[in-house]
Amino acid sequence: MKSADGWGDDVYQPDASDIQDDAGLLDAEDTLVDDGVDDPLDRGWSPPERPWAVEHHGVTAAERHEGETLDQRLAEELPDPAAPDGDGLGDSEGTDGELLDNEVGAARSGRLVAPDEGAHEDEEEALVALDVGIDGAAASAEEAAMHVVDEDTLPG
């Protein structure tokens, strides 16, 4: 390549007609992610437990310019975890495992809300609730443990 041809950004610079305004978040139907949340702004986000790569070499410009030795890179490598000995059934060791059965549904339910919405007098004597959908994928562990059970497949 000749120096007269230019390098990188010197070759192509967009003019004003090529520059587009930021459209913000895409609608759910315009993305490849389908997590059951209609509004992307309702999607939950969990921050990392600690900052990423703060302790690593190469965070500052001087460290990046200096480079990293092979020994430093190898010291950051983690060994592959060995496969645990087991029968491969569930996550309990020394047992028959935790196999799925038809009393535990596979489809996760959303938030369960009582007919009185938890604010009015309870007119229903039975413990019933309505599935009102997933709340931004930020369910507590208790809510995430709730699953839909098909009554037709229950024994007895």
- Give the tens place of pLDDT for each residue, 103-122: 677 777 777 788 777 677 77
Compute the Cα dihedral for 14, 16, 19, 22 and give only its sign: positive
91 falls in which pLDDT band (50, 70, 90)?
low
Q: Which residues fall within 8 angstroms of residue 153, CB to CB, at 6 or more apart?
A: 102
Please report how many Cα atoms fall inside a 13 Å half-sphere around the Cα of residue 74, on the Cβ side: 3
Backbone φ and ψ of 144, nearest 5°:
-70, -20
What's the whole-number mean pLDDT along residues 133-152?
75
89 pLDDT band, cuts 50/70/90, is low
pLDDT tens column, 9-60: 666 777 777 677 777 777 777 878 777 777 777 777 777 787 777 778 888 8
Residue 72 contacts residue 93 (beta carbons within 8 Å)? no
Share of the chain above pLDDT 90, in %: 3
Decide if 84 contacts 97 (C-beta within 8 A).
Answer: no
Determine phi and psi for 74, rounding to 5 degrees: -65, -30
> In the chain, where are the structural domains located?
108-148
